[in-house]
Amino acid sequence: MMFTAAMFALAVAMLLVLVRLFAGPTLYDRVLALNAFGTMTVLLIGVVGFMTERPDFLDIALLYALINFVGTIAILKFFRYKDLGQGLAASEEQNSLRDGGSQ
């Protein structure tokens, strides 16, 4: 019964996040909505696991949470540097130039 209620609440929450994702005026609304949706998928897997009485699913839900985190970091890094490979090299470049200038 408790898991059924949790399932209904998750469905409503997913719908709200989807509305934000479709409408979302700025890019950051959409990034945040995607992250929230990933979290809801984690919860969904957990609830389905407990509803079918197979809590082993919880391991997979944890891995989803990790992927969700890395994905959000990658998207935000892309915004910061406009490129995924160059960010680190460019900041190293700046650091080395700054160090060289002070010597």
Partner 1 sequence: MEAFIDIVLFGFLILTAIAIMRLRNLFAVVMLSGVFSLLSAGLFVVMDAVDVAFTEAAVGAGISTVLMLGTMAMTSREEKPPVHNRLFSFAIAVIVGAALIYGTTDMPPFGSPDAPAHQHVGPDYIERTPKEIGVPNVVTAVLASYRGFDTLGEVAVIFTAGIAVIVLLHGRTRPARTARARKKEKDV
For partner 1, the binding residues (CB under 8 A) are 4, 7, 11, 14-15, 18, 21-22, 24, 27, 30-31, 33-34, 37-38, 41, 44-45, 48, 51, 57, 60, 63-64, 67-68, 70-71, 74-75, 78, 82-86, 89-90, 92-93, 96-97, 100
Give the separation between CA 64 and CA 58, rounded to whole angstroms.
Answer: 10
Contacts of 18 (CB under 8 A, 6+ apart): 33, 37
Residue type (1 letter), 68: N
Distances (CA, A) of 18 to 12, 57, 71, 72, 77: 10, 25, 18, 17, 23
CA distance 27 to 98: 33
The nearest distance, CB 49 to partner 1, in angstroms, is 8
> What is the nearest approach in angstroms of partner 1 to the Cβ of residue 79?
9
Least CB distance to partner 1 at residue 94 (A): 10
CB of 17 to partner 1, least distance (A): 9
Six token digits for residue 17: 């996040």
